[in-house]
Chains A and B, each alone.
Chain A
Amino acid sequence: MSAAPSAPVQRIFVARDSAAVSVGADRVAAAIAAEAARCGSAVELVRTGSRGMLWLEPLVEVETPDGRVAYGPVRPEDVPGLFAAGFLHGGRHALGHGLTERIAYFARQERLTFARVGLIDPLALDDYQRHGGTAGLRRALELEPAAAVQLLLDSGLRGRGGAAFPTGIKWRTVLGAPAPVKYVVCNADEGDSGTFSDRMIMEGDPFVLIEGMTIAGVVTGARQGYIYLRSEYPYAEAVLVRALDIARTAGLLGPDVLGSGKAFDLEVRRGAGAYICGEETSLLESLEGKRGMVRFRPPLPAIQGLFGRPTVLNNVISLASVPGIFAQGAQAYRDFGMGRSRGTLPFQLAGNIRHGGLVEKAFGLTLRELLYDFGGGSASGRPIRAVQVGGPLGAYVPESRFDTPLDYEAFAAVGAMIGHGGIVAFDDRADLGQMARYAMEFCAIESCGKCTPCRIGSTRGVEVIDRIRAGRDTEANVRLLRDLCDTMSAGSLCALGGMAPFPVLSVLDHFPEDLGLAPVLAANK
């Protein structure tokens, strides 16, 4: 690109995150390059992860002496106008939002795990290291394995995939299991609707996941890792495969990790569209090349996991949180949060919400704060009637519960769960009777078939809900449905059949009118 010698090169940032690309980020980037060439402006386009303000995507940021200035959502046809307004120097424009980091949605977050996402080129390892990358791994390599596990235990980190089991206990079990071969497996089968934090970090900061898995390997004595990635994430796969090559070339992975003499390597394995493979034992079966049938526990995967070997099996966000915990110390992480829910969770605002996106916050804020202070209410402008929290097996939460603090235990106490932090909003046009039916139908489609309550119960559940919705013998059928939910909850082998009743019961309890039943009195909601 030609420019007058005195003109400095302007750095412009456009996300390469697939959500941004899905609404035109590549076309906007191309339009910027073309317009810059036409004007003779010297620009350097940097493709980053997304800042997580997805309603502003495609978001364009320009580097200024005060920080990055944001414009969005930008369409290709807006680009000449942006140039005319002097956006290369932060000039005013109708699409401008001022300094990105002062946008309230972003400024109020506590970004620990997502600290680099949206800031750096995801595949620039030197950028990663300049922003604190590999400090955690270097620290872990200095520690005795037992001390490293203790550090993780002290941080209070619990599994971010949804089950919230203490990550350090899994690592301690694997460390203590004598075996010549051990594995580290990352569960990247992010199948819950309303969740995309795993995808965003894999696309926006892949080295942090690689580093977290490498720490798990060197601490527990595993030398091989697998990322089990869902087939619905082709962009994330492409980024990860390139990041692994770069990490190997740089000696971050391989026979001698950062010159420590310890070996660790990783590969990406693609799932094949089965929701159940997000369940850890089913995932292991799938990695072994089999049908994703749930295994009985015990033995725990930490004792007999992949190919019968002790296996560290953690979610993407759990593993991506590890490098920061090692670099900053356990206490720094523990200082965030409430009760037994320590640290931060990247919440994901989705569905019918005006400002959808990713909000990393310490545990303890309320749903109402997320939905209104961050989310800005519904996208349709109508009242938010219900939100489903924690994926397809999560309860539909009515407005009367919007002040429940987001904490694992507080949510469990009201028959709901935080799960992987996905929050899907529905406005007052939603037919929650239909959604209750969908929960059972989804369970029937995705059941692995191993246990009867899930395999048969889900199909019977659809039929009973259909009878209730048709007004046939409703009192007896509601009793039958509750009984069926009880059987599924108590008798299923894993969380799919065990939790599919949650959304159904929440509709019965809070939105019975959508099933053609008498409404709940407001006072009892």
Chain B
Amino acid sequence: MTPDAALATAIDLHAGRPGGLLPLLHEVQDRLGYVPPSAVPAIAKAMHLSIAEVHGVISFYHHYRSSAPGRHVVRVCVAEACQAMGVKDLLAHARATLGVDLHGTTADGALTLEPVYCLGNCACSPALLVDQELVGRVDAARFDAIVAGCRSDA
């Protein structure tokens, strides 16, 4: 779907709903992977808001991205329960093998690494959310297998 079509659909579905801005932004990001800055003026107009207000909402929430991620997004839980089970070591492994830090995208565009504060899988830590798939009890070997999976569909 083109950015213009995604935006038109999102406005059509959500602009008229009470408190519709977050659902609208989700619709855009679900379809495109991010909310393009070029879409903000049209969103503001449809919602009867200023561009600054829309930008303020996008920048307030960690979930929304303003640039395109890699083909896959790997969210690593960095909250306390996962720290108690060694997520820092897992992150060090991720940095070393991928060559990127949190918020970075690998050079081949396969994946973007993001932090997340709790996935609610705290009895099966460390946990990741790979796109929409939750993965628990992750060790270095399991992480490498996930990365290989992300790279295999280039």
Contact = CB atoms under 8 A, between A and B. Distances in A.
A234 B127 CA distance: 14
B122 A195 contact: yes
A22 B64 contact: no
A23 B137 contact: yes
Contacts of B135: 22
A193 B122 contact: yes
Interface residues of B, number: 42
A286 B23 CA distance: 11
Contacts of A195: 118, 120, 122
Contact of B123 (A287, A353, A426, A442): A353
A194 B127 CA distance: 12
Interface string A28-59: 00000000000000000000000000110100
Given A269-B19, A288-B19, A357 B122 contact: no
Interface string B49-62: 00001001100111
Given A22-B136, A307-B18, A392-B80, A275 B125 contact: no
A190 interface: yes
B86 to A, nearest CB: 9
A435 interface: yes
Given A232-B116, A234-B132, A307-B18, A22 B85 contact: no
Interface in B98-120: 116-120
B120 A196 contact: yes
B20 interface: yes
Nearest to A380: B85
B5 interface: no
Interface in B14-50: 18-23, 25-26, 47
A311 to B, nearest CB: 13
Interface in A364-389: 379, 388
A334 to B, nearest CB: 30
A5 interface: no
Contact of A54 (B18, B22, B63, B124): B124
Contacts of A448: 60
Given A22-B136, A272-B63, A292-B60, A351 B125 contact: yes
A274 interface: yes
A336 interface: no
Given A18-B134, A22-B124, A191 B117 contact: yes
B122 A422 contact: yes
B81 interface: yes
B123 A348 contact: yes
B69 to A, nearest CB: 14
B124 A356 contact: yes
Nearest to B60: A291
Interface in A195-252: 195-196, 198-199, 231-235
Contacts of A55: 123
Interface string A425-438: 11100100001001
A403 B9 CA distance: 57
Contacts of A233: 120
A182 interface: no
Contacts of A289: 18-22, 47, 57
A435 B47 CA distance: 42
A350 interface: yes
A313 to B, nearest CB: 15
A430 B129 CA distance: 25
A301 to B, nearest CB: 15
B13 interface: no
A134 interface: no
B122 A424 contact: yes
Nearest to B88: A434
Closest A-B pairs by Cβ, 5 of them: A356-B123, A193-B79, A351-B84, A350-B122, A272-B61
Given A232-B118, A272-B61, 8 more contacts: A22-B127, A23-B124, A57-B124, A194-B122, A273-B117, A289-B22, A291-B60, A350-B84
Interface of B: 18-23, 25-26, 47, 53, 56-57, 60-64, 75, 79-85, 116-125, 127, 129, 132, 134-137
